[in-house]
Amino acid sequence: MDKEGLNELLSRCRNNDRLSQGVVYERFYSYALSVALPYCAHEEEAREVVNDAFLKVFTGLKGYDPAYAFATWVRTIVVRTAINRYKSRKSELIIYDLTEGLDVPVEDDFLSKMAAEDVLQLVQNLPPAYRLVINLFALEGFSHAEIAEMLEISVGTSKSNLSKAKAKLKQMLTDHLPKKYG
């Protein structure tokens, strides 16, 4: 679909045309799910985030500027929805101390042997606070100051969570890869 066609479709969505909203939902659902998955513990949770995000997309379309890519706008909403979900459930989450195993060696060729689904599964197995920080830092390119502000934590906590997430991933790689790819 070209930019003009998309803008026309979005215009109909702004007028609450349910068929047009359905087309947009179907067209961008897989993309939004691929954005949400690294932030969530499992696919069901990612689907919930995506559905919440699309509700925000459709109710906030008046604020969308067509000068920018719609997919980028959707991505931003999905990421923020995942962050908001994390913040609302923060008190329910168990915090793990993963300071052990910080110096676990990982051979460089391990990653080249891994399928993308395996990497995603490992990231999804991280505790929520670590998963969120590593995704915001590595996937979205946010600074620790930006992450701290978004998650309402200190810059030091952001840095610590990133370090611990990397250490935990290294440990999981060490445990996972020899069994599956050895």
Cα–Cα distance measured from residue 67 to residue 81, given in angstroms and rounded to the nearest whole number? 23
Residues 86 and 13 in one domain: yes
* Residue 25 belongs to some domain of the structure: yes
Residues 85 and 154 in one domain: no
Task: Classify residue 72: in a domain, yes or no.
Answer: yes
Tens digits of pLDDT across the chain (182 residues): 788 899 999 999 999 999 999 999 999 999 999 999 999 989 999 999 999 999 999 999 999 998 899 999 999 999 999 999 988 877 554 444 333 333 444 444 445 556 667 778 888 889 999 999 999 998 889 999 999 999 999 999 999 999 999 999 888 888 866 565 55
- Chain centroid to Cα 118, Å, comes to 16
In whole angstroms, how large is the CA radius of gyration of the chain?
19
* Domain's final residue, options 44, 65, 91: 91
**Are residues 77 and 127 part of one domain?**
no
Count of domains in the chain?
2
pLDDT at 13: 96
**b/e string for 141-153 if b means 16 or more Cβ within 10 A?**
ebebeebbebbeb
Identify whether residues 86 and 115 lie together within a single domain: no
Residues 115 and 166 in one domain: yes
The CATH number covering residue 78 comes to 1.10.1740.10
Structural domain includes residue 157:
yes
Which of the listed residues 91, 124, 146 is the one where a domain comes to its end?
91
Would you state the pLDDT for residue 79? 96
20 and 84 inside one domain: yes
Residues 8 and 87 grouped into a single domain = yes
Q: Where are the alpha helices (H) located in 37-60, listed in sequence order?
A: 43-59
The answer as to whether 123 is a domain residue is yes
Residue-wise burial string across 100-119, b where 16 or more C-beta atoms lie within 10 A, e elsewhere = eeeeeeeeeebeeebeeebe
- Cα separation, 171 vs 16, in Å, equals 49
Q: What is the pLDDT of residue 100?
A: 37
In a domain, 98, yes or no: no
* Residues 131 and 75 both lie in one domain: no
- Find all residues with CB under 8 Å of 98, minimum gap 6, and list them: 127, 130, 164, 167, 168, 171
What is the extent of the structural domain holding 74? Answer: 3-91
What's 168's domain CATH number? Answer: 1.10.10.10
Distance CA 60, CA 172 (A): 40
Instruction: Say if residue 12 is in the same domain as residue 75.
Output: yes
101 in a structural domain:
no
- Helix ranges (DSSP H) in the chain: 3-14, 18-36, 43-59, 70-89, 109-113, 116-124, 128-134, 144-151, 155-181
Distances in whole angstroms, Cα of residue 110 to Cα of each of 67, 114, 117, 130, 173: 42, 7, 14, 22, 8
Position 73 in a domain:
yes
114: CB partners within 8 A, 6+ apart? 177, 181
Residue 100 lies in a domain: no
